[in-house]
Amino acid sequence: MKTAFFSSKSYDQQSFQIANQNHDHELTFFEVPLSANTVSLAEGYEAVCVFVNDQVDEAVLKQLYTGGTRLVVLRCAGFNNVDLAAAEALGITVARVPAYSPHAVAEHTLALILTLNRKTHRAYNRVREGNFALDGLLGFDLAGKTVGVVGAGKIGEIFAKIMQAIGCKVLIADPFASDEVQASYEVVNFDQLIRNSDIISLHCPLTPDTHHLINSEVLAQCKRGVMLINTSRGKMVDTKAAIQALKSGQLGALGLDVYEEEGDLFFSDLSSQVIQDDTFMRLLTFPNVLITGHQGFFTREALANIADTTLGNLSAFVSGEGELFKVTTQKLA
Ligand code: NAI
């Protein structure tokens, strides 16, 4: 199937070319993101393959349809950037990769917690400069602390298991928690979770309900000095409220793999440019804030699985055989 990739990087090309040896689709890789300005590149392609920050809104979908596109494949799990209702009205199928390596994101969440807590990033630099002083590196034992997991789906459940193995008490808030989760963990409501957790980690999808789930009112109800980790979607945290809470000490540490306005920043080398996002730059000034650029998914295993499932989606669409992981407004895959 003739497919145009947007926001593609060298590692995407590599993993997809390897996986395509089993499929033989016609793949064209564009580095630019998909938007109203770039959608004309997709003309004549039956499918487009997009990532987390590509804009697949109604206007873009209409232009895709006019250009002959009938399938949008997301090479990620989240689909908050696609106007599903508009796609359905046009008759464009949308498919995604429902799971590629929940371990990758859960393990990255742990990395953020350990780094923020034990300050290994600061210790690394100090030791290289011959500075062996420990002042400023004081952490706390994770064992015995309460970790609140918001959303115990594929990633949240693995993360909960990891934290339990470390000796933490795990609280889960998930209105749709599975029977297994309910049997293995203490499931509480969101208010109970935020009031009682030493560490809060977000693992639910971005929806209108979870937009700015963490805001100033919520932060005020948390334990003083709470650590907040977001590896889910940036818009779930009101960044300005988080900055105020960091300034007052109410928020003790913040680990982000995603950021509200990451679309203008992440996945590109901007090291020679003046970054215009003052809110983001303010975040970087805090010693107790750690930001990674949406790399939670970025493991060899995950890239191989993403390529395999995405090309499988293309093949299933063409042949009508095999599994097509459709996303619809009615029901998910
Ligand atoms: P999933 O669909 O398996 O689990 C999501 C869970 O959240 C479900 O159990 C659902 O019941 C729960 N949920 C829904 N609304 C909720 C609410 N209001 N409060 C609490 N829980 C709620 O999804 P999965 O695979 O575990 O991924 C979770 C999120 O992680 C994705 O939506 C995506 O945004 C993010 N993600 C981030 C990546 C990264 O590289 N940083 C990579 C992959 C996913």
Nearest CA, atom 2, ligand 1: 153
Structure tokens that stand for 20 in this block: 């395509």
Q: Is the pLDDT of residue 311 over 90?
A: yes
Q: Is 176 in the pocket of ligand 1 (CB under 6 A)?
A: yes
CA dist 158 and 285 (Å) reads 32
Residues assigned a catalytic role = 233, 262
d(CA 151, ligand 1 centre) in Å = 6
Q: Which of 203, 237, 290, 306 to mutate to test the pocket of ligand 1 (most atoms within 8 A of CB)?
A: 203
Q: Which CATH class is domain 2-100+299-332?
A: alpha beta
Tell how far the Cα of 153 is from the centroid of ligand 1, in angstroms.
Answer: 6
Q: Considering only the C-alpha atoms of the chain, give the largest distance between any 2 of them, rounded to a whole number of Å.
A: 64
For 220, other C-beta atoms within 10 Å of its C-beta total 14
Per-residue model confidence (pLDDT) at position 313: 97
- H-run or E-run covering 4: strand 2-5
Ligand 1 pocket residue status of 232, Cβ below 6 Å: yes
Q: Encode pLDDT of 228-272 as tens digits.
A: 999 999 999 999 999 999 999 999 999 999 999 998 899 999 999
CB 71 within 8 A of CB 96: no
Every domain of the chain with CATH number 3.40.50.720 lies at: 2-100+299-332, 102-291
CATH number of 102-291: 3.40.50.720
Q: CA 51, 53, 55: angle at the middle one, nearest 5?
A: 95
Q: 208: CA distance to ligand 1 center in Å?
A: 14
* CA dist., res. 93 & res. 248, Å (int): 48
Decide: residue 333, CB within 10 A, 0-12 exposed, 13-18 middle, 19+ buried. Answer: middle
Q: Is the CB of 132 under 6 A from ligand 1?
A: no
pLDDT of residue 330: 77
Chain mean pLDDT for the chain: 96
pLDDT digit string (tens) for 155-192? 999 999 999 999 999 999 999 999 999 999 999 999 99
Task: Give the pTM.
Answer: 0.93
| Across 3-24, average pLDDT | 96
Q: Tell me: pLDDT of 286 over 60.
A: yes
Ligand 1 neighbour 78 (Cβ under 6 A):
yes
Q: Is 231 in the pocket of ligand 1 (CB under 6 A)?
A: yes
Q: Which of 51, 81, 105, 209 has most ligand 1 atoms within 8 Å of CB, for mutation? A: 105
Say if residue 57's pLDDT is above 60: yes
Contacts with 290 (C-beta within 8 Å, 6 or more apart), sequence order: 112, 115, 116, 121, 253, 254, 255, 256
CB atoms within 10 A of CB 326: 17
Segment 81-107, tens digit of pLDDT:
999 999 999 999 999 999 889 999 999
How far, in Å, is the centroid of ligand 1 from the Cα of 1? Answer: 30
Q: Which two tokens mark 92?
A: 């464009």
| Region label for 91, one of left (φ > 0), alpha (ψ between -120 and 50) or beta (otherwise) | left
pLDDT class for 333, splitting at 50, 70, 90?
very low
Is the pLDDT at 318 greater than 80, yes or no? yes
47 Cβ closer than 6 Å to some ligand 1 atom: no
The stretch 270-298 carries a mean pLDDT of: 97
Is the pLDDT confidence value at 139 over 60? Answer: yes
Share of the chain above pLDDT 90, in %: 96
Cβ 202 vs Cβ 237: under 8 Å:
yes
pLDDT band at 332 (very low <50, low <70, confident <90, very high): low
Place of tokens 């963490």: 214
